[in-house]
Structure 1
Amino acid sequence: MSIQSNLQQIKTNLPENVTLVAVSKTKPVSDLMEAYEAGQRIFGENKIQEMTEKWQQMPKDIEWHMIGHVQSNKVKYMVPYVKLIHGVDSLKLLKEINRLAVKWRKHINVLLQIYIAEEETKFGLDEKELNEILNSEEVKQMTNITIKGLMGMASFTEDKEQIKREFLHLKSIFDKYKPLNAGNCQLHTLSMGMSGDYELAIECGSTMIRVGSSIFGNR
């Protein structure tokens, strides 16, 4: 199937409240443009240099998301054009994003990454760290970022029940902190689910899915 038909098939069954991020890392601009021509406007990359090169070549109404693990020393390269940073997993990183956003006179939306998997390889905050960040006076004073929600990645396993447990755990944390909405904390987005499990993630309450291979084919 073509990229266009893959997109149409996914979007046909997508609830209105769920945002589709097309994970375009490692894919050529020609593939992204095929998705763009089919109406897709949100693309996710995990390498800043690759995102920069694609940003330079592609239409400027695209919303670029950084979806991979972000190092503090790399933030400066993406601040000019990134719309949403998915994997913010420390106060240090949040401070650096805000500092550079102030410098560039930009406003950047972020998602706080929560550790929900049973794998040591995944990044993320535990609930105690999340609570400290969301209730931090220092964070509340950050003028150039908005915490838009939470994200998490389930374990890489065939066990659907385990994945479901992890998604529901993240949903319960999201529901617990959602009432905090004030100032630069506006928890509207729950980002969970990828090509292999996004339908289950939506069942569990996801409002944003990150889909790559089901759109562009396997890498």
Structure 2
Amino acid sequence: MSIAENIQAVRAQIAEAARAAGRDPAGITLVGASKMNDAAACREAIAAGIDALGENRVQEMTEKLAENAYDGAPLHFIGHLQRNKVRQVVGKVALIQSVGSDPLLDEIEKQAEKLGLVQDILLEVNVGGEEAKSGFAPEAVFAAAQRAKTLEHVRLRGLMTVPPIETEPGQNLANFEKVHGLYVDINQKLYDNMLDILSMGMSGDFADAIRAGATMVRVGTAIFGRRAYPAAEQEGTV
């Protein structure tokens, strides 16, 4: 199937999951996770109406920006972001989804101030407490959201999570529900219900994420096909 046909199929699944949860499918944003896919694939996804594209790697994103790969759709950064690469991302993307530490938050604020802009972000929640993953511990997210509120050049839009890999279907529903609870709590107590993004769910579990309240899903394999990873590299987040 083509990328366009895959997007159509994913949208149908999103609609089915949303309706089953009593939600409007129009309230779910589809981000195409385009890691390890070339500029032509990105353009094909945009032509097919993808809502946004998401990149995991700064170097790959920079190379594809030079090829105008993302023209016509918002670009999100969805992977682990090192502080020394913040300057290559701030101002280049509509949304940084993976802000998972106070030092990273401060570095984004610093770079955005230099550029005279406000950078939209999400706080990443390490809901599974996995040592190999970045993100705030669930119990630390509220304080991070309070800190973000004090920064003049950062605008918090919501939360993101990458839960542990499922070993059986539906296993992450409880994790998604936990992050949704954090999102609602922060939204009500700190942001007057102005937060509007809860980014949860990937190719294998976005239906459960939507059931739990996700407003944005990040889908790679189901749109672009399986990635040809080097033998020494494990498959990533989408």
Give the TM-score normalised by structure 1: 0.91
Task: Please name the residue that 2:122 is paired with.
Answer: 111
Residue 153 of structure 1 pairs with residue 201 of structure 2: no
Residue 211 of structure 1 pairs with residue 222 of structure 2: no
* Residue 44 to residue 197, structure 1, CA distance change in 2 (3 Å): same
Cα deviations across residues 121-168 of structure 1 (Å, max 9, x unaligned)? Answer: 2221123321222233xx433111111000111211222343111111
**In 2, Cα distance between the equivalents of 1:80 and 1:167?**
29
Moved over 3 A (4+): none
Q: Structure 2: state its 5+ residue gaps.
A: 15-24, 228-238
Match of 2:54 among 30, 44, 64: 44
Q: Which amino acid in the other structure matches residue 2 of structure 1? A: S
Task: Please name the residue that 1:95 is paired with.
Answer: 106
**1:41 positional shift:** 4.5
**1:118 positional shift:** 5.6
* Residue 50 to residue 115, structure 1, CA distance change in 2 (3 Å): same
Q: Which amino acid in the other structure matches residue 12 of structure 1? A: A
| Structure 1 contact 68–87 (Cα < 8 Å) conserved | yes
| Structure 2 contact 30–51 (Cα < 8 Å) conserved | no
Task: Please name the residue that 2:209 is paired with.
Answer: 201
Cα deviations across residues 70-106 of structure 1 (Å, max 9, x unaligned)? Answer: 1111100112311111111111111110110111122
Give the TM-score normalised by structure 2: 0.84
After superposition, the CA RMSD in angstroms is 1.7
Q: Secondary structure at the match of 2:26?
A: coil
**In 2, Cα distance between the equivalents of 1:98 and 1:186?**
20
Q: Which amino acid in the other structure matches residue 122 of structure 1? A: K
Cα deviations across residues 33-89 of structure 1 (Å, max 9, x unaligned)? Answer: 111111225111111121112122225332111111111111001123111111111
Residue 6 of structure 1 pairs with residue 16 of structure 2: no
**In 2, Cα distance between the equivalents of 1:217 and 1:175?**
34
Cα deviations across residues 108-128 of structure 1 (Å, max 9, x unaligned)? Answer: 111101111264322211233
**In 1, Cα distance between the equivalents of 2:129 and 2:145?**
24
Q: Structure 1: state its 5+ residue gaps.
A: none
| Structure 2 contact 158–198 (Cα < 8 Å) conserved | yes
The count of aligned residue pairs is 215
**1:213 positional shift:** 0.5
**1:176 positional shift:** 1.3
Q: Secondary structure at the match of 2:163?
A: coil
**In 2, Cα distance between the equivalents of 1:124 and 1:81?**
22
Q: Which amino acid in the other structure matches residue 82 of structure 1? A: V
Counterparts of 1:19-30 in structure 2, within 5 Å, are 19-30=29-40
| Structure 2 contact 203–219 (Cα < 8 Å) conserved | yes
Task: Please name the residue that 2:230 is paired with.
Answer: none
Counterparts of 1:125-140 in structure 2, within 5 Å, are 125-136=136-147, 139-140=148-149
Task: Please name the residue that 1:35 is paired with.
Answer: 45
Cα deviations across residues 192-214 of structure 1 (Å, max 9, x unaligned)? Answer: 00001011111111111000010
Q: Which amino acid in the other structure matches residue 175 of structure 1? A: V
Q: Secondary structure at the match of 1:85?
A: strand
**In 1, Cα distance between the equivalents of 2:174 and 2:63?**
38
Share of identical aligned residues, percent? 36
Task: Please name the residue that 2:73 is paired with.
Answer: 62
